[in-house]
Amino acid sequence: MRILHDLSLLVAPTTPEWPGDTPYSCGWTWDMAAGASVNVSALTTSPHVGTHADAPLHVRPGAAASDALPLDAFCGRAFLLDVSGRSGAIDLESIDDRLPSRLERLLLRTGRSVAAGGFPADWPTLSAKCVTALCARGLRLLGVDAPSIDPRESATLDAHHALFDCGGFNLENLDLRGVAEGEHHLVALPWRLAGLDAAPARAVLVEPG
């Protein structure tokens, strides 16, 4: 037996979208209450609503899209680090003594998640220099409970670029409440959707029972 911790946000009409983005909405194509033989639903949403992985296309015109996201980057050992008491850009020197020597996947609990209700005004992020240094040590995936791995007001998205420059990937809008800091096993598979700049993901931590 194994214990599964669901790290995915519930996506509903009340789930906050990035200000100005397309919110989640749903309706019915066929409705049994109206005489149809089955119920068939339809939805409209941005792929950035809820837990998702960005593709390089998100910040680079013509770059790889959502269908090119590699599965192996999103499955395996992951270390959860609590930075909820921090603000602004975090450099490597200030967290290095809390990180394992082997680090392929890093999950940051900022404590500023839409899971807490509402869209946060700000959240701590890793500096681009920190991201580059961690990638040089093997980082392949950076996950956060915040809406972005970059600051809310960033127009240059330096952390995104630093991560993609190194061949890394990200997860955003995780729900990391109630998960202990330390080593875990992550499975967070992006949907196989063609041509998008991001893909929704169902993220879980798998623990021994």
Point out the residues that are catalytic. 58
**Alpha-carbon gap, residue 154 to 162, rounded angstroms:** 14
Q: Rounded to an integer, what distance in angstroms lies between the CA atom of residue 97 and that of residue 65? A: 35
Which residues does 143 contact at the CB level (< 8 Å), separation at least 6?
78, 105, 106, 107, 108, 170, 171, 172, 174, 186, 188, 203
Indicate the residue type of 185: H
Taking Cα atoms as reference points, which of 151, 105, 102, 147 lies closest to residue 126? 151
- Of 1, 21, 29, nearest to 173 by C-alpha is 21
User: In terms of DSSP bridges, do strands 182-190 and 198-208 run parallel, antiparallel, or are they unpaired?
Assistant: antiparallel
